[in-house]
Each structure stands twice: as structure tokens, then as C-alpha cells.
Amino acid sequence: MTILLQALLNGIMNGTLIAVPAIGFTAIFAVLRFPNFAIAAYATIGAFAAWWVNVHLGAGVLPALIVAFAVAGFAGVAAEETALKGLRGSGALTVAIGSIALNVVLENIIRLYFGNDLRGYDLPIVPDWRFLGLRVGPQQLQSLMIAVAIMAAMFAFLRFTKFGKAMRAVADNADLARLKGIDPAKVALLTVFLGAGLAGTGGVLIGLDASIDPMLGYRVLLTVFAAAVLGGLGSIQGAVAGALLIGIAEECALLVIPPTYRSAVGFIAILLVLTLRPRGIFGERAA
Amino acid sequence: MLAYFIFALTIGGIYALLALSLNLIWGGVGLVNLGLVGFFAIGAYVSAILTGAGMPILVGWGAAIIIGAIAGFVVTLATTRLRDDYLAIVTLGLAEVIRLVALNERWLTNGSDGISGIQAPLKSVLGNQGFNLFYMGLVSLVVLVVWALLRRIDMSPYGRAMKAIREDQELAAFAGKNVLSFKVQAFALSAAIAGLAGALYAHFQSYISPDHFQPLITIYIFLAVASGGVGRPAGGVLGAYLVVFFLELTRFVPNLLPDFAPAQFAAIREIMIGTALLLVLHFKPQGLLPERIIPAPKP
């Protein structure tokens, strides 16, 4: 029983962290209508930017996260404008393939400067807390709260600000939004900034748990995809629900399968859910 | 130097088969397979395991083709009701699962140590040099046969129906084409070709391990097909040889820049590959050998 509860707890914590980049991915999909594989590189860029200010300037977790958000966001906008924007006319498939190429380029720029070594954030080591036979690290709990705060901020942004409403409008019906005087180019730019920034902060939160290296983003890419697909591509609430589900499914599956197959769980979950409910949990139109 | 040239041509031929495989679905029905390397690995492992168990090489190759096709069939069938971007994500996941199986099921694949001593056909008769030459000829012949077959499909009513689906699947369905069955067949045939390429690769290298099947190979093949010309079999073949030529050329770069570490060279090479793919998509999306579109007959 305790083992199951512990798995559930770990799953919720991992899922919450995955939800942050998953929101970024699904938001970009909602507005630009293509799966952006470069989200992996944005997560890695954020993780390394935070690592740099943490180790070289002694920044704490919160300032490092803000730096990660900004650096990944701007990197995302710069990459989108130079490498992907020109492909939009050729269809979603071409942009998606372009984003894979972009991801290879960005990931290897990181590798060129930082090498393949594992790096850890410079943070005090604190013992785990124990209660009712369960174990939880204060660092994990802090990451969890930060992730929840980021999600709350994102929901508030989408619900109450002008830009947030414009984003939802474009996602819902781009033509109608344009008729209402919303500039789709501006909304696209802002969405990419937010999406890449969220991926960047997600990269830090995932890296805080263990270590970072240039493959960090690529390793979680499948899980992020799985979360977004499970929840229904383009749905923000869906991405959160999907991420929690994937997180819990991974931890519970590890009770019966060897841990080396962890990343296969996401794939199996996608196959299962899509066979039963092709649109995902909160899926929008399937067309 | 000659031996090196023969080696490059053989690898070029194997990449050409992968390019033909990708072109069939990308240029045909407009699907992409981001897990191409997974099907490549399936073919290599199936043939290596079966011939290792004493089966003749031709049985290994045949099995690689059949198991490849079955894997392709299962993947598309599981995602049939989905949009194509979902399929792309699922194929990426499949390649990862195949890599995990190859890495962890030691009883079957010998894990990260890989399988060595894979039979090289006629090597004992022909000697090292002769085998390499023979194998290059064999791979080139297979490329030629597969190319001719796909070109035949490309020109046939079946090929035209596929391209109609690529352009507008609702319209194709409205015209009475069974879109689903075309997609599944094309994907299975494509996966079978990738499996064959894997089998040819395994018996050429005589050693395979999960490290041989990096996701980057999929990117190389995308670059090959995009630069050669999506939708035209000859384009993919040309693109594959060009990509291998480029990759082999970059081997000499370390001699020019001795200050960099090997990991940095690998990074620079991959940056170049990624940039090349982006440049092709931007400035030459039709590729070197653009697709030939037969004009509709005049009434």
C-alpha cells in the first residue's frame, strides 16, 4: 500500500514537472498547428542558461528560472523567425520536419560549447522528509510548487489578459480572429516566446532533480508529446491532465516492469488512449 | 583509397534504400516516419538473430522484409483514425521502444554489447577485398531493383491514387479511393524496404549494436529525400549518395582543425546536417530532381 502511495506521489510530482513543457508544446500547436520538435532544444537551452547563472553568478532557483524562461523564450523567437517562419506556407508537415532539423542544430550548438558531460546545479543538499512512511525531497516539493505557480500564472494570463484572449481566439479560429482585428503574426510570436520559455523553465525543473546534459530535452520529448497527445493536442488543460496521467502511469508501471523501459510507458499510453479515444481526453476537433 | 570508395558506395546504397522507403510514404501518401531507424534496426536484428541461429542468409533477409512489413502494418493500423501528426509522434516513440528492447533484452539481442560475427555471404570464398566488391555490387543491384519497382508504382494508377491522397485525402476518398488501405499498404511496403536495408547493413558490417541505430540516421535520410526530390524515387537515391559523400567528406575536417575535441566535431557535423536540411526546405523544396507531374490529358 505504501509502495503504491509512494508511486502515486512520485508520479504526481514528475507529472507536474512534465506539464510545464507540455503546456508550451501544446500552446504552440494550438496557434501554429504543427508539432514543434524544437521544444526539446528549448528545454535544454533553458536548463543550461539557468545552470550558467546558478554556477557562475550564484543565482538562486527563482532568478535562475526567470533567466531560463527569458533565454529560452528569446532563443525560440529567434529560431522561429529565422528557421521556421518561412516554411509555414509549405504545410504543417514541412514545418514539423524543419523543427526537427532546427532541434538538431540547437542541441549541437549546446554540445559544442558545453560538451557531453553531466552537470549539476549548485544547490544545498537537504535530507528527504518522511511522513506516514512516504518519502519526499524538499527540492522536489519546491519544484512542484513552482510548477503549480507557473501553471496558475499561465491560466490567468490566458483567461484575463488581452494577449491571452487573443491567443485563445487564434487557436479557436484563426480566420475569425483576423476579422476581429487580431494580428496573427503578433500572436504567433508571443505564443512561441511563451511556449519556448515554458519549455525552458520545464527543462530547469527536470534538471534540478538530477543533472543536465545536452540530451536533456530530447530524453523528455517523448513524455512531453505523450502528455500533450493524451490530453488532446492544442488543449492546455489537456496537457496538464495528460502530464499527470503519464507521470502516474510511469511510476506505477515501474512497479511491475524494469526501470529501463520507463520511456516506453509514454508510447504505450499514447497507443492505448488513441485507439480508444483518438482526440485525447480534452480533445478539440479531430479534423 | 579504392577500398574506402567501395565502402562508401555500399553504405550509400543502404542509405538509398532507406531514402526509397521514406520517399514512398512521404512523397507517396504524405505521411512521415520519424522512426525509420527503428525499422532499419528491426531488419538488421531479425536477420542477425535468425542467421545466428543457423538459418540461411536469404531466409534472414526474407524474414527482415516480412517482420519489417508487419511492424509497419501494426503501427499504421493502431493510429489509423488519427491525424498524420499523431502518426509522426507514434513512429518516433516506436523507434525509442525498439532501441530500448535492443538495449535491454540481452537474451535476444545481447544488449549494448551487440551481436558480432554476423555471417558475411561468400566472404570465405571471395576474400576480404572480393567480398567488399561483391557486396557493393549486390547492394547496388538491390537499389536498382527496388528503385525500378517504386518507379513502376509511381507511374501506375496506384501511384497516382497515392499522390491524390497526399494532395487531398478527402477528395481522394470522395473519388472512391480507400484512403486507409492505401496508407497502410504504403507504410507496410516502406517499412519492409527499411527492414531489407537493415538486413543488408547487418551482413555487411558483421557487427551490430544499439549504437548503430541512432535517431540521427533518420535525419540523414530526411535530408537525402528532401535534397534529392520528394515524390521521385530517383531523387531519394541521388540524395542518399550525396549525403553519404558529404558525411564521408566531413571525416577529413579534423585534420584541418586540430584544436577541437572529437565530440565537438560530431557536434559541428550535426549542425551542418541540420542546417543543410533547413536550407533545402527553404530554398529548394522541390529538390535536385523535382517530381514529374504528368499533365492531365486534353479533352
pTM: predicted TM-score of the whole model, two decimal places: 0.91
In terms of residue numbers, what domain contains B28? 2-213
For A163-178, what is the mean pLDDT? 87
Domain membership flag for residue B257: no
For A173-195, what is the mean pLDDT? 89
Q: Please tell me the total count of domains within chain A.
A: 1
Q: What pLDDT is stored for residue A207 in this prediction?
A: 92
Domain membership flag for residue B298: no
CB contact under 8 A, B79 and A274: yes
For A168-186, what is the mean pLDDT? 86
Q: Does A278 touch chain B (CB under 8 A)?
A: yes
Domain membership flag for residue A160: yes
Domain membership flag for residue A129: no
Domain membership flag for residue B219: no
Domain membership flag for residue A205: yes
In terms of residue numbers, what domain contains A96? 2-118+136-276
Domain membership flag for residue A72: yes
Q: What pLDDT is stored for residue A233 in this prediction?
A: 85
Q: Please tell me the total count of domains within chain B.
A: 1
Domain membership flag for residue A24: yes
Q: Does A233 touch chain B (CB under 8 A)?
A: yes
Q: What pLDDT is stored for residue A287 in this prediction?
A: 34
Q: What pLDDT is stored for residue A58 in this prediction?
A: 87
Domain membership flag for residue B274: no
Rounded Cα distance between B14 and B208, Å, is 15
Asked if A16 and A245 touch (Cβ cutoff 8 Å), the reply is no
CB contact under 8 A, A102 and B274: yes
Domain membership flag for residue B281: no
Residue B54 reports pLDDT greater than 60:
yes
For B40-45, what is the mean pLDDT? 96
Domain membership flag for residue A285: no
Rounded Cα distance between A269 and A257, Å, is 14
Element (H, E) at B116: strand B115-116
Burial A151-190 (b: 16+ CB within 10 A, else e): beebeeebeeeeebebbbbbbeebeebeeeebebeebbbb
CB contact under 8 A, B85 and A225: no
Q: What pLDDT is stored for residue B62 in this prediction?
A: 96
Q: What pLDDT is stored for residue A132 in this prediction?
A: 75
∠ CA(B137), CA(B142), CA(B146), 5° rounding? 150
Length of chain B: 299
CATH code for position A87: 1.10.3470
- pLDDT tens for A82-112 read 999 999 988 888 999 999 999 999 999 999 9
**Among candidates B181, B162, B179, B197, which has minimal Cα distance to B36?**
B197
Domain membership flag for residue A286: no
Please tell me which of A130-134, A196-200, B127-131 the model is most confident about, judged by mean pLDDT.
A196-200
Binning pLDDT at 50, 70 and 90, where does residue A284 land?
A: low
Share of chain B above pLDDT 90, in %: 50
Residue B35 reports pLDDT greater than 50:
yes
Within A57-115, where are the H helices?
A: 61-79, 92-114
Domain membership flag for residue A130: no
Residue B250 reports pLDDT greater than 70:
yes
Q: What pLDDT is stored for residue A125 in this prediction?
A: 77
Domain membership flag for residue B245: no
- pLDDT tens for A123-148 read 877 778 877 778 888 888 899 999 99
List chain B residues with CB under 8 Å of A275: 78
